[in-house]
Amino acid sequence: MRFGLVMGEAASGLRRNISMVISVILVTFISLTFVGAAILLQLQIVQMKGYWYDRAQVAVYLCTETQATGNCAQEEATAEQKAAVEAELTSTDLAQYIEKFEFENHDLAYQNFQTFLSDSSYASFVKPEMLNESYRVNLKDPSNADVLIESLSGLAGVESVVDQRKYLDQIFGILNAASYTAIGLAVLMLIAAVLLIATTIRLSAFSRRRELGIMRLVGASNRFIQTPFILEGVFAALIGSILAGGAIVAIVQFFVRGYLTTALPSTTALIGLGDALLVVPVLIVLGGVLAAASAGFAINRYLKV
């Protein structure tokens, strides 16, 4: 009986305020879509980090005839120098951090170069001896790369020691910036959404001020008076959040899975539908809670006399 009455009041409020309700729905829809996109970007970053950090190596580049940087003096690294590096890598100090390491000689480096960078403009000038020989080290924990850099970069015949994760960090930086932009936009839109909900509820309360006055007079509890208004706000926001959830799933399904997977090399780890479905409940809860809070706040201020 009471439940029905409360729902009836909420429904009549929604009907009376239909244009405001639609704008609330649209604004929550857009803002939560931004929130969802930001979360997806973060998930994508985590995913890529997980994938690439495991494969990222520390490369110990050895000197070539042409180089004068690092410890090089335009001389090819000698066999003794290589042996010294290798000895250092197998020493007990470093071995505990290292999973495995490989040696990449000029020919192998040239092969790899041709495979990955064959279409670059200087590919035709490059000769095998111009490319550094290197030790490719896989670490047990990639974050310990500094230890290797410190102990190896001083050795004779070593041109440089590079943590490949640095290259990835640039990509992550870009993705991070994109997700922060999305969050920033989302916050602005959410503020608009919250204010819009508060205004809508106040309008709705104003149009029902006669009933409210009588309710207060005959002793309807505050909770009973508030609930229909809060439900009204939550209902509108929930529709918006569900739409936003749908949009997020659609983006992942059609853009990420449908377009990006074919457009990008197959090694790129992309988020899947599972991640999108993880985001949807977050959006719905966020929308509902924000709407309930702002509607409750709005009607509370209206009730106080």
Partner 1 sequence: MIRFDSVSKLYTSNPRPALNNVSLEILKGEFVFLVGASGSGKSSFLRLVLREEKPSKGDIHVLGQQLTTLSSRKVPYFRRNLGVVFQDFRLLPQKTVFDNVAFTLQVIGKSKGFIQEAVPDVLKMVGLSGKTARFPHELSGGEQQRVAIARAIVNKPAILLADEPTGNLDPATSQGIMTLLERINLGGTTVVMATHDAGIVDQMKRRVIELIGGQIVRDERQGGYQTQSMPIQTFGMAGTDGEASL
Give the binding site for partner 1 (CB under 8 A).
1-2, 5, 210-211, 213-222, 224-225, 305
| Token pair of 45 as six digits | 């970053």
Minimum Å gap between C-beta 304 and partner 1 is 9
| CA–CA–CA angle 132, 135, 137 (5° rounding) | 140
Minimum Å gap between C-beta 243 and partner 1 is 33
Q: Using CA atoms, how far apart are residues 158 and 70, in angstroms rounded to an integer?
A: 7
Asked whether the beta carbons of 27 and 193 are under 8 A apart, the reply is yes
Minimum Å gap between C-beta 289 and partner 1 is 23
Minimum Å gap between C-beta 5 and partner 1 is 5
By C-beta, is 28 or 226 nearer to partner 1? Answer: 226
Minimum Å gap between C-beta 222 and partner 1 is 7
Minimum Å gap between C-beta 35 and partner 1 is 35
By C-beta, is 18 or 305 nearer to partner 1? Answer: 305
Half-sphere exposure (Cβ direction) of 126: Cα atoms closer than 13 Å: 18
Q: Using CA atoms, how far apart are residues 47 and 103, in angstroms rounded to an integer?
A: 29
By C-beta, is 2 or 127 nearer to partner 1? Answer: 2
Asked whether the beta carbons of 64 and 104 are under 8 A apart, the reply is no
3-state secondary structure of 104: strand
Q: Using CA atoms, how far apart are residues 279 and 284, in angstroms rounded to an integer?
A: 9
3-state secondary structure of 58: strand
By C-beta, is 219 or 265 nearer to partner 1? Answer: 219
By C-beta, is 58 or 230 nearer to partner 1? Answer: 230
Q: Using CA atoms, how far apart are residues 250 and 258, in angstroms rounded to an integer?
A: 10
By C-beta, is 11 or 278 nearer to partner 1? Answer: 11
Minimum Å gap between C-beta 224 and partner 1 is 6
Minimum Å gap between C-beta 236 and partner 1 is 23
Minimum Å gap between C-beta 14 and partner 1 is 17
By C-beta, is 174 or 214 nearer to partner 1? Answer: 214
By C-beta, is 4 or 274 nearer to partner 1? Answer: 4
Asked whether the beta carbons of 277 and 245 are under 8 A apart, the reply is no
Residue with tokens 């949009």: 247
By C-beta, is 127 or 223 nearer to partner 1? Answer: 223
Residue 137's DSSP bridge partners are 58, 101
Start-end of H helices in the chain: 2-16, 18-55, 79-90, 92-95, 106-117, 145-152, 165-207, 209-218, 222-250, 261-263, 273-303
How many other CB atoms are there within 10 angstroms of residue 223's CB atom?
9
